[in-house]
């Protein structure tokens, strides 16, 4: 009985070691996108633009800059929105261990729209 218990503990310990090693070797591979938003007519920075890439969103800072981490790899849809501006849509290629850069020009809506 004691020998069976020791053998069971040994098998359990071996399984735990194997599973811990498998978990530590598993890494979610995601990318990063950095960008800048400017007014298409004036060239000035556009702040507080909502940027969405692959379901992840953030607002640009006072300099029109943004940085999104944890973006799924591959070709991702980009949407930039701000009240008073046309919605910007594009795509970006997100790669592992690389930072993709986006330059987004926002066009103001006319008073007629």
CATH number at residue 51: 2.60.40.1120
* In-domain check, residue 64: yes
Confirm whether 84 is domain-assigned: yes
Give the count of domains, the chain.
Answer: 1
Residue 49 DSSP SS3: coil
Task: For residues 111 and 72, give the distance between their C-alpha atoms in angstroms, rounded to a whole number.
Answer: 38
Positions of E strands within 1-113 = 30-39, 50-53, 56-59, 65-72, 74-81, 88-94, 99-106
Residue 111 reports pLDDT greater than 80: no
Domain that includes residue 80, residue range: 31-106
Element (H, E) at 25: helix 2-25
Asked, for residue 92, whether it belongs to a domain, the answer is yes
Q: Does the residue 75 lie in any domain? A: yes
What is the reported pTM? 0.71
CA dist., res. 13 & res. 39, Å (int): 61
Give a yes or no: residue 99 inside a domain. yes
CA distances to 5, 29, 52, 103 from 82, in Å? 66, 30, 12, 16
The model's confidence at residue 4, banded by pLDDT at 50, 70 and 90, is low
In a domain, 87, yes or no: yes
Report pLDDT digits (tens) over 20-46.
444 444 456 899 999 999 999 999 999
The predicted-structure confidence for 43-85, as pLDDT tens digits, reads as follows 999 999 999 998 899 999 999 999 999 999 999 999 999 999 9
């Amino acid at each position: 009985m004691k020998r069976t218990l020791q053998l069971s503990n040994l098998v359990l310990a071996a399984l735990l070691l194997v599973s811990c090693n498998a978990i530590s070797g598993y890494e979610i591979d995601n990318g990063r996108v950095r960008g800048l938003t400017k007014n298409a007519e004036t060239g000035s920075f556009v702040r507080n633009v909502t940027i969405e890439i692959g379901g992840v969103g953030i607002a640009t800072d006072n300099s029109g800059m943004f940085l999104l981490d944890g973006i799924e790899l591959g070709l991702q849809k980009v949407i930039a929105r701000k009240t008073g501006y046309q919605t910007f849509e594009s795509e970006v290629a997100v790669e592992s261990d690389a930072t993709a850069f986006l330059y987004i020009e926002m066009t103001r809506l006319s008073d007629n729209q």
